Copies of this chain bind each other. A is one copy, B any other.
Amino acid sequence: MANTIPTRIYLNEEEMPKFWYNLRADMKEKHDPILHPGTLQPVTASDMEAIFCKELVRQELDDSTKMVPIPERLLDFYRAFRPSALIRAYYLEKELGTPAEIYYKFEGTNTSGSHKLNSAGPQAYYAKEEGLETLTTETGAGQWGTAMAMACGFYGLDLTVYMVKVSSEQKPYRKAVMETYGAKVVPSPSDTTDSGKKILEIDPDTGGSLGCAISEAVEMAIKTDKCRYVLGSVLDHVLLHQSVIGLETKAAMDKFGIKPDIIIGCAGGGSNLGGLIAPFMGEKLAGKSNARFIAVEPASCPSLTRGRYVYDFGDTAKTTPLLRMYTLGNGFIPSANHAGGLRYHGMSPILSKLYHDGYIEARSEVQTDVFDAAIRFMKTEGILPAPESSHAIKAAIDEALECKKTGEKKVILFGLSGTGYFDLSAYMQYNAKTLTDKIPSDDDLAKGFASVPDIPQNK
């Protein structure tokens, strides 16, 4: 098979992006502003700087600069693991017998195992530049914590990671990687913070959630000298950094004249999907593209498909600023039996706005179907995918099979955000046919929604 389009497309170093793309600058309607939880007024930079690094706050609040230069020393960091490959899924296409062309951008070959390193690098870099000594963060599946551990190791910063308890128990090796890079890992909820203690009082046996872990990490950041908090998803500055995924993908596709018709990503907090679609969505907003965009979320944590578009806290202890986003309520705790890292009650405000305005579609998938798709993918394409990324695989396969029915030769692009190396206990459960899923009932959802703040903006 001598293909016109190679199986793996890599950019040369000089073709790699030197700027991030700020999609918001091209959105005619911006998302609603972040609100201060006390005053219910739009947050100011100085409000946010109690929690976040200055430059990240500046990026968070800047919705007009379109191209944001990547500092030279950060390009150094990116060069240590980028470019990632854009891969044509010839083997999967053949197995499916589809006329569709399928491409995936594979972010899983760095040691953190996922796309998270794209934002961990900048966040550690700016903290160092600003003279900070310690960072705190949370991690669910472990990818973000590992990425931050690597970045802090690279730039020489201390790091405390609050790891969702159920994940820290399921994934001792994830913990080991973070510790090997020098990070301190605390299973959350813990008794090291007031918010952790409070959650443990209510439910001593909780497996934890990203929402809890965020509360603890933010609390520690506020109480510690020369310390700030970093977040791996949801916020606009994270999506800005992750635009490197989409920019590389688009550059690689442009080289071969490929135009995607459907762009698919899994969506937890939205950083992977937001990064992948950024430049393609920019074209759509400019009327230069008719591409469809599909967010795929777990049926156990369906913030877009079953959530509400309201202002909510980012954490369980209700300490963060308020974001207008699709949310299941900050009190929603997804069932512990889900393997993936998509267990977050909210969703990126940018993606929420785009979904609300009809630019993005969303669907939810149950875990067993997602693993069926993962196995089909790994047996043909060779790569063991992360359960999170496998949500995108499921949708890509479904779209390709739809093309098989209709005979359409569509171009499907999806984000393969990470590997499943550290999720093998989930694969072992799948092999043993003991993997299950728990779809929240309407009652479960009602309980979650009850935690949404009762403020005028939500009337």
For the complex formed, measure the closest distance between the CB of A390 and the CB atoms of chain B, giving whole angstroms.
13
Is residue A404 contacting chain B, with contact meaning CB distance below 8 A?
A: no
Beyond A6-B79, A180-B384, 13 additional contacts (C-beta under 8 Å) are A1-B75, A1-B76, A8-B79, A10-B10, A80-B382, A91-B154, A154-B379, A173-B173, A173-B425, A173-B428, A177-B424, A180-B375, A180-B430
For the complex formed, measure the closest distance between the CB of A341 and the CB atoms of chain B, giving whole angstroms.
17
Q: In the assembled complex, which residues on chain B have CB atoms less than 8 Å from the CB atom of A81? A: 382
CB pairs A–B below 8 angstroms (25 shown): A1-B72, A1-B75, A6-B13, A7-B79, A8-B79, A76-B91, A79-B90, A80-B91, A91-B154, A110-B383, A111-B378, A111-B382, A111-B383, A172-B428, A173-B424, A176-B424, A176-B428, A177-B384, A177-B427, A179-B431, A180-B384, A180-B427, A180-B431, A181-B379, A421-B421
For the complex formed, measure the closest distance between the CB of A142 and the CB atoms of chain B, giving whole angstroms.
12
Contact with B along A1-37 (1 / 0, CB 8 A): 1010011101011100000000000000000000000
Is residue A158 contacting chain B, with contact meaning CB distance below 8 A?
A: no
Is residue A261 contacting chain B, with contact meaning CB distance below 8 A?
A: no
Is residue A150 contacting chain B, with contact meaning CB distance below 8 A?
A: yes
Once the chains bind, are A111 and B7 in contact (CB under 8 Å)?
no
Closest 10 CB pairs of A and B: A6-B13, A173-B424, A109-B109, A7-B79, A10-B10, A111-B384, A176-B424, A421-B421, A176-B428, A80-B382
Known contacts A79-B8, A80-B7, A382 near B1 by CB under 8 Å = no
Q: In the assembled complex, which residues on chain B have CB atoms less than 8 Å from the CB atom of A179? A: 431
Q: Is the interface of A mostly helix, strand, loop or mixed?
A: helix
Q: In the assembled complex, which residues on chain B have CB atoms less than 8 Å from the CB atom of A12? A: 6
Is residue A49 contacting chain B, with contact meaning CB distance below 8 A?
A: no
Is residue A63 contacting chain B, with contact meaning CB distance below 8 A?
A: no
Q: Please report the C-alpha to C-alpha distance between residue A12 and residue B13 in the assembled complex, in whole angstroms.
A: 13
Q: Please report the C-alpha to C-alpha distance between residue A127 and residue B428 in the assembled complex, in whole angstroms.
A: 29
Q: Please report the C-alpha to C-alpha distance between residue A57 and residue B418 in the assembled complex, in whole angstroms.
A: 39
Is residue A190 contacting chain B, with contact meaning CB distance below 8 A?
A: no
Q: In the assembled complex, which residues on chain B have CB atoms less than 8 Å from the CB atom of A113? A: 421
Q: In the assembled complex, which residues on chain B have CB atoms less than 8 Å from the CB atom of A422? A: 421
Q: In the assembled complex, which residues on chain B have CB atoms less than 8 Å from the CB atom of A282? A: none
Total copies of this chain within the assembly: 2
Q: For this complex, into which size category does the number of interface residues on chain A fall?
A: 35 or more
Known contacts A177-B424, A428-B176, A379 near B153 by CB under 8 Å = yes
Contact with B along A399-439 (1 / 0, CB 8 A): 00000000000000000000101101101101100000000
Q: In the assembled complex, which residues on chain B have CB atoms less than 8 Å from the CB atom of A109? A: 109
For the complex formed, measure the closest distance between the CB of A407 and the CB atoms of chain B, giving whole angstroms.
25
Is residue A381 contacting chain B, with contact meaning CB distance below 8 A?
A: yes
Residue of chain B at shortest CB distance from A173: B424
Once the chains bind, are A7 and B13 in contact (CB under 8 Å)?
yes
Q: Please report the C-alpha to C-alpha distance between residue A430 and residue B182 in the assembled complex, in whole angstroms.
A: 13
Q: In the assembled complex, which residues on chain B have CB atoms less than 8 Å from the CB atom of A177? A: 384, 424, 427
Which residues from 143 to 172 on chain A have a C-beta closer than 8 Å to any C-beta of chain B? 150, 153-154, 172
Residue of chain B at shortest CB distance from A89: B80
Q: Please report the C-alpha to C-alpha distance between residue A106 and residue B13 in the assembled complex, in whole angstroms.
A: 17
Q: Please report the C-alpha to C-alpha distance between residue A14 and residue B72 in the assembled complex, in whole angstroms.
A: 32
Once the chains bind, are A110 and B153 in contact (CB under 8 Å)?
no
A180 touches which of B7, B182, B378 (Cβ 8 Å): B378
Q: In the assembled complex, which residues on chain B have CB atoms less than 8 Å from the CB atom of A6? A: 12-14, 79
Q: Please report the C-alpha to C-alpha distance between residue A111 and residue B378 in the assembled complex, in whole angstroms.
A: 9
Residue of chain B at shortest CB distance from A374: B180
For the complex formed, measure the closest distance between the CB of A77 and the CB atoms of chain B, giving whole angstroms.
9
Residue of chain B at shortest CB distance from A16: B6
Contact with B along A289-317 (1 / 0, CB 8 A): 00000000000000000000000000000
Once the chains bind, are A111 and B419 in contact (CB under 8 Å)?
yes
For the complex formed, measure the closest distance between the CB of A48 and the CB atoms of chain B, giving whole angstroms.
30
For the complex formed, measure the closest distance between the CB of A432 and the CB atoms of chain B, giving whole angstroms.
10
For the complex formed, measure the closest distance between the CB of A66 and the CB atoms of chain B, giving whole angstroms.
24
Q: Please report the C-alpha to C-alpha distance between residue A75 and residue B430 in the assembled complex, in whole angstroms.
A: 32
Q: Please report the C-alpha to C-alpha distance between residue A150 and residue B382 in the assembled complex, in whole angstroms.
A: 7
Q: Please report the C-alpha to C-alpha distance between residue A199 and residue B81 in the assembled complex, in whole angstroms.
A: 46
Known contacts A76-B1, A431-B176, A378 near B181 by CB under 8 Å = yes
Which residues from 236 to 285 on chain A have a C-beta closer than 8 Å to any C-beta of chain B? none
For the complex formed, measure the closest distance between the CB of A85 and the CB atoms of chain B, giving whole angstroms.
8
